[in-house]
């Protein structure tokens, strides 16, 4: 997925304007010439200047964006949706469902979408989810939630 310079430059300039506006609301430090707003303001100015150069240079470039294989390959579309949607789902389901189940379903599902045969996909997804869970919880003491499989792991 590629954004043309005209579009990406515009996004950068808009982002810089938002940054400068937000920075202008930061309070000064009493008795000091420079305060918390100094650096964000300088960053905003540099970002806007660089964004304007990109925008000016690529203004005539068309199309404004191309989505490559995402536009026509059904498998790639589903894979990207699964990859990103799955991570969002993890944020919500992390505690109630637990890491081993989430990891197995997430990686196994993505393998199936990408064309791995069902048996190896299920085997590798489950094996890696369980091994990673055990290594990180038992050896490295990372509190990964076990979810409903807590009685097993």
Partner 1 sequence: MADLLAAWALVLDPEVLLVILAAAFFGLFVGAVPGLTATMATALLVPVTFFMAPLPAVAAIVACTAMAITAGDIPGALLRIPGTPASAAYTDEAYALTRAGQPELALGAGLVCAALGGLFGALVLVVAAPLLARIALGFSSFEYFWLAALGLTSAAFVSAADRAKGVVSLTLGLFIATIGLDITSGLPRFTFGSVELMGGVSFIPAMIGMFAVSEVLRNITDGTSLGTVPKVNVGNPFRGLGAVLWRYRLNVLRGSALGTTVGALPGAGGDIAAWIAYANAKRFSKTPEKFGQGHVEGIVEAGSANNSGLSSAWVPAMVFGIPGDAITAIAIGVLFMKGLNPGPRIFVEQPAMLYAIFITFFLANLLLIPLGWLAIRAARPVLAVPRNLLLPLILIFCVVGAFAINNTVFGIAVMLVLGVVAWLMESSGYPIAPVILGIVIGPLLEQNFMISMMIGDGDLLAFFARPIAAVLGVITVAVWLAPLALRLARGWRPGPHP
Site string for partner 1, 17-56 (x = CB under 8 A): --x--x---xx-x--xxxxx-xxx--x--xx-xxx-xx--
> CB of 139: closest distance to partner 1 in angstroms?
8
> CB of 46: closest distance to partner 1 in angstroms?
5
Q: Which is nearer to partner 1, 91 or 152 (CB)?
A: 91
Alpha helices in the chain (DSSP H): 5-24, 38-57, 74-97, 99-113, 118-134
Q: What's the rounded Cα separation, in Å, for the pair 20 and 38?
A: 10
Please give the DSSP secondary-structure letter assigned to residue 34: S
Contacts of 57 (CB under 8 A, 6+ apart): 5, 9
Residue owning tokens 């919500």:
92
User: Which residues contact partner 1 (rule: CB under 8 A)?
Assistant: 1-5, 8, 12, 16, 19, 22, 26-27, 29, 32-36, 38-40, 43, 46-47, 49-51, 53-54, 57, 68-70, 73, 76, 79-80, 83-84, 87-88, 90-91, 94, 99, 103, 106-108, 110-111, 114-116, 120-121, 124-125, 128-129, 132, 136, 140-144
């Amino acid at each position: 997925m590629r954004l043309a310079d005209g579009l990406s430059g515009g996004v950068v300039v808009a982002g810089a304007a938002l940054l400068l506006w937000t920075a202008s609301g930061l309070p000064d430090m009493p008795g000091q010439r420079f305060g918390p707003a100094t650096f964000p303001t300088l960053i905003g100015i540099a970002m806007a200047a660089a964004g304007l150069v990109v925008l000016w240079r690529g203004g005539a470039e068309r199309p404004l964006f191309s989505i490559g294989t995402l536009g026509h390959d059904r498998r790639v579309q589903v894979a990207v949706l699964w990859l990103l949607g799955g991570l969002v789902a993890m944020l919500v389901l992390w505690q109630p469902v637990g890491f081993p189940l989430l990891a197995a379903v997430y990686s196994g599902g993505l393998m199936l979408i990408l064309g791995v045969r069902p048996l190896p996909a299920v085997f590798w997804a489950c094996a890696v989810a369980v091994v990673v869970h055990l290594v990180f919880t038992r050896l490295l003491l990372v509190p990964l939630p076990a979810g409903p499989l807590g009685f097993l792991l």
